[in-house]
Structures are given as C-alpha cells and as structure tokens.
C-alpha cells in the first residue's frame, strides 16, 4: 500500500486518486500486491500531447507521404551545430589522451570548463562570477531539477508563469512541492506583477522565470525584471525568507529586433541561472548545460553546495566530459540562428494575413496562436486534417491557444502556407 | 522551518538533528530565516574520505613530487578506451548530419541503440530481451536512481550487502526509503543468505547486488545467486509483494581466473540490471549506461515505464546522443582489461608476502585489505605517511579494512611496493 499512499500525497487530487486506485487494483489482480511506485509509472506511461502528435505525424507521413505533414510540434532545432563543433570534437579526440579526455571530471565539472563559463558571464553580462559559482550539468533539465531540489522543500510552493514548459510541473512535484500558476497577460504574454504578488505566501520557495519564453516567445523587459525583483526583495524581507528566481534560459541567444535579455542576477541577487547549449549550439541530444548561482545570493556558497548535493542525490556524477571540453571552447558561439528569425517573419506575416491572431514573438522559436475556434483542442484537430501539427495550449497551462514550433526547415514552412490558408478559410477567419 | 522539518524526517538521527539545528540558526542569523534545503547542502558539502585523500595526495605531490604519491583511492580506470572508440566517434562526427547526430533521441534512447543492447544481452546471456526492455541512461548512477525511484516508495527499505559502494546510501535515502545493511562474510565477502532472510520484512522493496563487487572484488557464484533467488521467491509469495533485485554491474567484464558472472535475470525474474560502459570501455566521465528490466518481471512493462517516469522526474531527458551512437557499435568490446589482472597478481602476492591479510579478489579492480592496526582509520593514516592512499572501510559500511583501487598505472604499483614493505615493518607484521 506504500505506493498508493505516496501517490495520494504527491497528487492530492480526486481524479488522480481514482486513476491510481484503479491501476492499483489492476496490479493487485495480476501480480503481487505491491509492484512499483505508481506515480512513476504514470509519469513514464502518460504520453504527452506533443508525443501523440509526433506519432500521428509519423503515421500520416507513411500513409500520404512526408510532403503532406507539417510538424510544428517539437522544439528540436533544425539548424545544424556550427561546423566548429565537429572540428573541435575531432581535434579533442585525436589530440587528447583518452584516459584523460573520457575520465571523470570533478562533480562540479572540470575547473577549466567552469572558468570559461564564468569568464563568459563576466564579459557578456558584467556580472561578478567565478568558477566556484558554476556547476556543469547534464543539460537544462538537470540544471532545473538540481536547483529545485536544492532550494525547495516538500510542502512548499513554486510559482510558474503560465503558459509554461510542461516539465516544470513534473520537476517541481518531484521535490514534494506544489505548482502555483500565475497567468501572464494575454496581450504580449508578459508577467503581471500584481498577480505574482497575490500568489506569494510563506510557503513560496521560488519562481521560475523563462525568458525568452517557451511557448509564447515573450522576452521580458528590463522593467519587467526590475519590478519582479523589487516585489521579491520586499516580500522576502516581510516573510523573513529567501524566495529564489530560477532563471531557465536555454533560449537566451534567440532574440529578435535588437531586444536585450536582462541578465537576472544583475537585478536580483537570489537568482540561480539554468542554462543549456541545446538551442544555441543545436546540441539538444548531448545534454550539456550549467547552473550559475549568483555570488551575491544569501549564503551563496551554501546554495551552490546544495545544488551539488541535489545533483549527487539525483545520480548526476558529472556532466559528459567530452561535451564539457567542447563547450569550454565554444563560449559565445552559436549556430546560424538567423534562420529562426526569418521563419518567424514568414509565418507571422502569413498567419496574420490569413486572419489568425498571433502576438509577435520577441525570441525563442515558438508562435503562440490564439485559437479561432471555441477551444484549442478542436483547432488542433482541424489543423491535423491539413497535416499541420500544433500543440494545444492546455499542455502549457493556458487554454485557447496552440503552440507552433517554427524551428523547422524553410521548405516545410513555405509548403505549409497554403494549408494554413485553407484551414483559415474552413474556420471562417480568412480575410 | 520547512527544510528543518524535512531534514529531521530524512535523517531521523539525534546527531544530525543538532547539526541541522545549528546550521539552521547560523543561517537565521546571516540571512533570511529559510535559505535552502539543508539536507542537500550537507550532501554537497560533506567531503567524502575518498575526496579528502585525493586532495591530500595532490598537496603531497606538490610538496614532495608526483613520484612520492601512490594514489589507490579512486576507481578511475588508468587503461585507455580501445582505439576503436576514437575512430568510431570521429567517423560518426564526420559522416552524420549534425542535426541528427546531436538531436534529441527518444527518452528511452535511440531505437537502434536499444536494439543493439538487447541483441548483446540475448547473445551473451541467453536471456530473452528486446529494445522495449532497455532504457539508455546517463551512466550507472542514473540507472540506479531511476530504478530505485521506480520501485521504491518512501518509508520502505532497501537491502545492501556491506561493504558497499557509499553512494547507494545517498541514492536510497533520496527516495525517502531506508538502507538496511547486511554484512557479507569476512572470509571471501560473499553474501550470507540467512542474514539476508533475517533482514527482509514487509517494508523491503529491493536488494542491491553488486557483483563483481566494489570494494571487495568478490564475484558471487551461481550458487549464491540461486540461493538468494529462492529466498526472495519464497518471501515475495509469503509477503504478497515483489522484492526486486537491482543488479549494479559496471564491473561485469572485470573477472579473473575464468570465473563467470551469473546473469541474474536468468535466475530471478524480478531483476533490474543497471549497467555502465565506464569501466569496460574506460569512459567514466562520459556517463553512458542502461537499465534492463527483465521481460519476465511481474508487470514488466509497467516497471519499465516506471523507470522511464522516474528518469523523467529526475531530469534525464535522454542519454547523451553521441555516446549512445558510440556504444551501439561497441557491444562486447572492452579496453585491454588484462592489465588489471596483472596489477592484482603483483599486489596480492607482494602484500601477502609482506604480512598483510587480503582475500584474493575475483573481479573488479579493488583489494579489500584487513587492517593490521586496531582500526582502519589509523592504518590509512599510517599509510599516508608513506604516500600510500587507501580508503578506510568505514566509508563502505565495514570497519577494520581499507580499500585499495589498483586501476593504477603499472609504474605506480611497482614503485609502491617498497613502501608497502616499510609500512608492514613499521606495523610489525612483516614476515
């Protein structure tokens, strides 16, 4: 019965209660009484909508041909890594003693790698930073789980600004804490500071800030960040506790029209930055990123050690050594990201022309399109009939919208336009 | 106060209570009242004895020269990866579209990689296996944490056979479960089945079997495994629950004198194998391994999904893609492991000759040496005076012994011998 009790505690919802109870009884009938941690089985079994769309697309492609599917469901970069990535990897492999190259690094990462990250942070953002503030991670997801487990305790709350990346909920709930959703405004999907204030209480441990944003493409302004920082400073003092900003920044370099992404540690000292090279260097499968704990955070060294301890408890021995050595030499380098801006311009202008309502994204590689039908699920279903795969906003904690990932090839985007137009016509919005 | 309460619950020890309380008050005085999850800070701050020895060795080398330090503390392979590893990596990089090579794989791993692992399991061990039973992981530590979180629930117990790899305790406690230590016999460090039986109760969720063993080098026989399997089958039926064997097998290929390592799924169906290529291919820093859930396990598919779900909750998006493609082509390949056997023979024969008591290791690359002094800490301290770094057994849950990792260069081993002899003379055991 242990998994059952745990499950109830972790979910605390009647609907899940029933599902768990049913599954539990099913397992009871088939095997011994207690097989596995049911919560984990559910996490591993529940196919995300994104994954379902992907499978639908594959099946459709087999039936009607690749050309008839326009898959805008996944945030998988289509632009290859810069050619220097292959050159540096090859050179590292040919010129380094394999026992050293592939050997353990320290748990925090190789010192020279952490120094290169710190130098980049100092030079780009004018922010105090050295190697002792940098913990190399197995991508941004590992950075987030290590940071969350470090600063969040069971029964606390973590604020997320909806719409938000769905895995935040999984990662937060794994710490035993609860997700507190605060909707952004629906004009440009920037945060509402009064709404954040209303959500803060003595249980608030952290707020996740993801700018440039997945799924909306919003890039928070300096003014946004300043206001959030002022609010948090005030509430921390009143509540006599630290509330962290966990800044999830895999899209940092993907900004358009000369916008700047404020580096949050420069505005709020209790900030933990989670970074990944997945999008900037087009290396999403290689899992390499870092945590940067602001040296100005309260008890910064203890916070850093807690991040390391959490990483250890989660099973992260070190970030992949070869990839560490690679990014040491790729600081500030990016893939040719201009194609994403061009994709945005093409789609934004076409979709607007066809009568869709889209807030112009300021960064990342997503359009968050308002559903012309009553609900986004039916919009997504209608689009599927044209071979267009769009993720309903429900997955991101905001209904009435779909997410369109335009990190696709130009060819797919160009060929999709007539279908978007036909869909607009069917839905009666074509101007 | 949340971290404080959590800490108490997680540790449940008076001594830790005091430590936590003090730290907590210290932080109270310095910053806001609640800064971080204290348990995680402790995990990140507490330097392991192994790490301390490593730092001591570095300082000594600087003072007296590299030649005066004989570091037997770390299990870091000295034998390089086979040359094919570099060749395959270079070929993959030069011949594959980088957007594909470095792109996300599915969370379980690329299908062709999982198929190659399953084929290897079928061919080597005659065990039913296909890709749907294989989950590629970020090394063995990730395999262990994903498996433990999948099948263990808070307040349950996991049996470990002492002496054991110290991180087991960290990983088990991170699930909220407790460690139950069962000492092996001290003749050859094989398990005592009656003692395991005495440790099993209705809270037992799993037992970790690590053969070839770190730190003793014991390789459990077919008879050992059969007896444990019979015991577990009987107790599972009586308790009406599944008790898993989690088989941690990074040293599988490191066996001597023609010994065989029984493949546990062939003897006990509720087995989850955790494997790593760290030692067999000398790639410890690259973090690549897998979980194999026996297809004969009760509700095998659900168990597999729970492992995937746990990996997801812990922040594992996929195992590093390039390394997945590498091991796909390295199934059954190993570094030249014969050097480890020769190292063992040299040290075992010399140490025995000098009067030390050592059970001959049957595999892995460790000697577990009986301390000639009252306690192993003083033995380790005495050895340090000769520049010899040995890890006291306390770290592995068994006092009175030290661990000697002989995955060192031959040169270091040969030069260390006169110092071992002088140490034996000082300790009055030299024959």
Residues of B in contact with A317 (CB under 8 A): 139, 141, 287
Closest C-alpha among A264, A181, A269, A259 to residue A225:
A264
What's the distance, Cα to Cα, between the start and end of chain A in Å?
59
Alpha helices in A31-134 (DSSP H): 38-45, 49-64, 83-95, 98-101, 111-125
| B90 contact partners, CB below 8 Å, separation of at least 6 | A90, A93, A94
Closest C-alpha among A48, A42, A10 to residue A27:
A42
The residue among A149, A315, A365 with the most chain B CBs within 10 A of its CB, best to mutate, is A315
Instruction: Classify strands B271-276 and B289-293 as parallel, antiparallel or unpaired.
Output: antiparallel
Q: Identify the burial level of A401 via C-beta atoms within 10 angstroms of its C-beta, where 0-12 means exposed, 13-18 middle and 19 or more buried.
A: buried
Q: A155 vs B2: CB contact, 8 Å cut-off?
A: yes
Residues forming a β-bridge with A378: none
Assess contact for A309 and B45: CB atoms under 8 A. Answer: yes
Residues forming a β-bridge with A255: A363
The residue among A92, A285, A405, A407 with the most chain B CBs within 10 A of its CB, best to mutate, is A285
Residues of B in contact with A141 (CB under 8 A): 315-317
In A, minimum Cα distance to B31 occurs at A298
DSSP readout, A140-155? Answer: HHHHHHHHHHHH--TT
Q: Give the span between the Cα atoms of A407 and A254, in whole angstroms.
A: 11
- Specify the pLDDT at position B58: 84
Residue B186 tokens read as 């001290």
Residues of A in contact with B239 (CB under 8 A): 32
- pLDDT tens digits along B319-360: 999 999 999 999 999 999 999 999 999 999 999 999 999 999
Mean pLDDT of B118-124: 98
Helix, coil or strand: residue A158: strand
Q: A305 vs B33: CB contact, 8 Å cut-off?
A: no
Helix axes A38-45, A2-11, angle to 10 degrees: 60
- Specify the pLDDT at position B431: 79
Q: Which of B2, B76, B156 sits opposite A156 (nearest CB)?
A: B2
Residues forming a β-bridge with A392: A402
Alpha helices in A222-374 (DSSP H): 222-239, 300-314, 321-328, 338-354
What count of other Cβ atoms lies within 10 Å of the Cβ of residue B15? 8
What count of other Cβ atoms lies within 10 Å of the Cβ of residue B425? 12
Residue of higher predicted confidence among B12 and B149: B149
Residue A122 tokens read as 């100092």
Closest C-alpha among A320, A314, A27 to residue B312:
A314
Q: Identify the burial level of A300 via C-beta atoms within 10 angstroms of its C-beta, where 0-12 means exposed, 13-18 middle and 19 or more buried.
A: middle
Q: A90 vs B93: CB contact, 8 Å cut-off?
A: yes
Residue B147 tokens read as 């498996």
Q: Give the span between the Cα atoms of A320 and A309, in whole angstroms.
A: 18
Q: A287 vs B320: CB contact, 8 Å cut-off?
A: yes
- SS3 track for chain B: CHHHHHHHHHHCCHHHHHHHHHHHHHHHHHCCCCCCCHHHHHHHHCCCHHHHHHHHHHHHHHHHCHHHCEECCCCCCCCCCCHHHHHHHHHHHHHCCHHHHCCCCCCCCCHHHHHHHHHHHHHHHCCCCCHHHEEEECHHHHHHHHHHHHHCCCCCEEEEEECCCCHHHHHHHHCCCEEEEEECCCCCCCCCHHHHHHHCCCCEEEEEECCCCCCCCCCCCHHHHHHHHHHHHHHHHHHCCCCEEEEECCCCCCECCCCCCCCHHHCCCCEEEEEECCCCCCCCCCCCEEEEECCCCCCHHHHHHHHHHHHHHHCCCCCCHHHHHHHHCCCCCCCCCHHHHHHHHHHHHHHHHHCCEECCCCECCEEEEECCCCCHHHHHHHHHCCCEECEEHHHHCCCCEEEEECCCCHHHHHHHHHHHHHHHHHCCCCC
pLDDT in tens, chain A (431 residues): 333 333 323 322 222 222 232 223 233 223 444 567 888 888 888 767 787 887 888 889 999 998 999 999 988 888 999 999 999 999 999 999 999 999 999 999 999 999 999 999 999 999 999 999 999 999 999 999 999 999 999 899 999 999 999 999 999 999 999 999 999 999 999 999 999 999 999 999 999 999 999 999 999 999 999 999 999 999 999 999 999 999 999 999 999 999 999 999 999 999 999 999 999 999 999 999 999 999 999 999 999 999 999 999 999 999 999 999 999 999 999 999 999 999 999 999 999 999 999 999 999 999 999 999 989 999 999 999 999 999 999 989 999 999 999 999 999 999 999 999 999 999 999 97
Q: Identify the burial level of B186 via C-beta atoms within 10 angstroms of its C-beta, where 0-12 means exposed, 13-18 middle and 19 or more buried.
A: middle
In A, minimum Cα distance to B317 occurs at A141
The torsion angle over the Cα atoms of residues A180, A185, A405 and A283, rounded to 10 degrees, is: -60
Residue B396 tokens read as 């592995």
List of E strands, A129-265: 134-137, 157-162, 178-183, 204-209, 244-248
- Specify the pLDDT at position B1: 30
Residues of B in contact with A151 (CB under 8 A): 35-37
- Specify the pLDDT at position B45: 83
| A290 contact partners, CB below 8 Å, separation of at least 6 | A109, A114, A117, A134, A135, A136, A137, A143, A274, A275, A319
Q: Min CA distance, A298 vs chain B (Å)?
A: 6
Residues of A in contact with B6 (CB under 8 A): 153-154
Q: Give the span between the Cα atoms of B318 and B325, in whole angstroms.
A: 13
Residues of B in contact with A156 (CB under 8 A): 2
- pLDDT tens digits along B401-431: 999 999 999 999 999 999 999 999 999 999 7
- Specify the pLDDT at position B35: 63
Instruction: Classify strands A157-162 and A204-209 as parallel, antiparallel or unpaired.
Output: parallel
Q: What pTM, to 2 d.p., does this model score?
A: 0.91
Q: Which of B43, B97, B312 sits opposite A312 (nearest CB)?
A: B43
Please calculate the CA angle A102-A106-A112 and round it to the nearest 5 degrees: 80
Q: Min CA distance, B161 vs chain A (Å)?
A: 20
Mean pLDDT of B192-198: 98
The residue among A22, A37, A112, A237 with the most chain B CBs within 10 A of its CB, best to mutate, is A37
- pLDDT tens digits along A26-65: 332 234 445 678 888 888 887 677 878 878 888 899 999 9
- Specify the pLDDT at position B74: 86
Q: B27 vs A299: CB contact, 8 Å cut-off?
A: yes
Assess contact for A292 and A129: CB atoms under 8 A. Answer: yes
Residues forming a β-bridge with B292: B134, B273
- pLDDT tens digits along A195-224: 999 999 999 999 999 999 999 999 999 999
The residue among A31, A44, A241 with the most chain B CBs within 10 A of its CB, best to mutate, is A44
Q: Min CA distance, A157 vs chain B (Å)?
A: 11
* pLDDT(B157) > 80: yes
Residue B115 tokens read as 């198929």
Q: A316 vs B138: CB contact, 8 Å cut-off?
A: yes
Residues of B in contact with A340 (CB under 8 A): none
Closest C-alpha among B370, B274, B285, B273 to residue B323:
B285
Residues of A in contact with B286 (CB under 8 A): 102, 320-322
Q: Which of B98, B145, B236 sits opposite A315 (nearest CB)?
A: B145
Residue B262 tokens read as 């029984």
Residue B12 tokens read as 């449940």
* pLDDT(B7) > 80: no
- pLDDT tens digits along A239-275: 999 999 999 999 999 999 999 999 999 999 999 999 9
Q: A2 vs B312: CB contact, 8 Å cut-off?
A: no
Assess contact for A333 and B67: CB atoms under 8 A. Answer: no
Q: Give the span between the Cα atoms of A232 and A206, in whole angstroms.
A: 10
Residues forming a β-bridge with B389: B71
What count of other Cβ atoms lies within 10 Å of the Cβ of residue A84? 14
Q: B315 vs A284: CB contact, 8 Å cut-off?
A: no
Residue A428 tokens read as 């009666």
Element (H, E) at A212: none
Q: B42 vs A309: CB contact, 8 Å cut-off?
A: yes
- Specify the pLDDT at position B42: 86
Helix axes B139-151, B300-314, angle to 10 degrees: 120
In A, minimum Cα distance to B108 occurs at A44
- pLDDT band for position B23 (cuts 50, 70, 90): very low
| Residue B179, CB-side half-sphere exposure with 13 Å CA sphere | 24
Assess contact for B367 and B215: CB atoms under 8 A. Answer: no
Q: Identify the burial level of B134 via C-beta atoms within 10 angstroms of its C-beta, where 0-12 means exposed, 13-18 middle and 19 or more buried.
A: buried
Residues of B in contact with A86 (CB under 8 A): 93-94, 98
Residues of B in contact with A239 (CB under 8 A): 32
- pLDDT band for position B237 (cuts 50, 70, 90): very high
Mean pLDDT of B136-148: 98
Element (H, E) at A280: none
Looking at residue A241, the DSSP 8-state letter turns out to be S
The torsion angle over the Cα atoms of residues B287, B293, B294 and B300, rounded to 10 degrees, is: -170
In B, minimum Cα distance to A277 occurs at B102
Assess contact for B275 and B252: CB atoms under 8 A. Answer: yes
Closest C-alpha among A112, A173, A125 to residue A327:
A112
The residue among B28, B34, B40 with the most chain A CBs within 10 A of its CB, best to mutate, is B40
Would you put residue A135 in left (φ > 0), alpha (ψ -120 to 50) or beta?
A: beta
Assess contact for A91 and A83: CB atoms under 8 A. Answer: no
Assess contact for A210 and A252: CB atoms under 8 A. Answer: no
- Specify the pLDDT at position B6: 32
- pLDDT tens digits along B354-407: 999 999 999 999 999 999 998 999 999 999 999 999 999 998 999 999 999 999
Residue B317 tokens read as 């998006």
In A, minimum Cα distance to B156 occurs at A2
Q: A44 vs B89: CB contact, 8 Å cut-off?
A: no
């Amino acid at each position: 019965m242990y998994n059952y009790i745990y499950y109830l505690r972790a979910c605390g919802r009647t609907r899940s209660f029933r599902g768990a109870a049913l599954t539990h009884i099913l397992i009871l009938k088939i095997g011994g009484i207690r097989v596995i941690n049911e919560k984990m089985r559910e996490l591993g079994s529940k196919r995300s909508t994104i994954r379902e769309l992907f499978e639908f697309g594959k099946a459709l492609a087999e039936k009607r041909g690749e050309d008839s599917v326009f898959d805008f469901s996944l945030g998988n970069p289509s632009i290859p890594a810069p050619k220097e990535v292959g050159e540096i990897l090859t050179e590292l492999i040919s010129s380094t003693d394999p026992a050293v190259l592939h050997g353990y690094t320290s748990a925090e990462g190789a010192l020279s790698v952490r120094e290169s990250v710190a130098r980049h942070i100092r030079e780009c953002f004018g922010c105090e930073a050295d190697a002792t503030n940098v913990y190399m991670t197995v991508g941004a997801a590992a950075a987030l789980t290590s940071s969350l487990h470090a600063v969040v305790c069971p029964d606390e709350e973590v604020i997320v600004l909806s719409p938000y990346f769905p895995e935040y909920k999984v990662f937060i709930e794994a710490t035993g804490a609860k997700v507190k959703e605060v909707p952004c405004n629906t004009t440009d999907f920037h945060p509402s500071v009064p709404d954040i204030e209303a959500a803060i209480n003595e249980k608030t441990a952290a707020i996740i800030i993801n700018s440039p944003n997945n799924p909306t493409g919003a890039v928070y302004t300096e003014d946004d960040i300043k206001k959030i920082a002022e609010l948090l400073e005030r509430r921390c003092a009143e509540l006599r506790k630290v509330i962290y900003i966990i800044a999830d920044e895999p899209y940092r370099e993907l900004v358009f029209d000369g916008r700047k992404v404020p580096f949050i540690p420069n505005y709020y000292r209790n900030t933990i930055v989670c970074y990944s090279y997945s999008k900037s260097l087009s290396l999403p499968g290689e899992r390499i990123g870092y945590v940067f704990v602001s040296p100005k955070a309260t008890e910064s060294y203890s916070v850093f050690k807690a991040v390391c301890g959490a990483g250890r408890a989660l099973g992260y021995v070190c970030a992949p050594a070869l990839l560490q050595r690679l990014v040491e030499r790729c600081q500030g380098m990016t893939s040719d990201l201009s194609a994403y801006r061009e994709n945005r311009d093409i789609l934004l202008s076409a979709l607007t022309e066809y009568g869709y309502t889209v807030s112009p994204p300021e960064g990342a590689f997503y359009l968050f399109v308002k559903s012309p039908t009553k609900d986004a699920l039916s919009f997504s279903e209608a689009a599927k009939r044209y071979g267009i795969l769009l993720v309903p906003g429900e997955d991101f904690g905001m209904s009435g919208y779909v997410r369109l990932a335009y990190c696709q090839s130009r060819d797919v985007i160009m060929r999709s336009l007539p279908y978007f137009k036909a869909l607009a016509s069917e839905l009666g919005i074509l101007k």
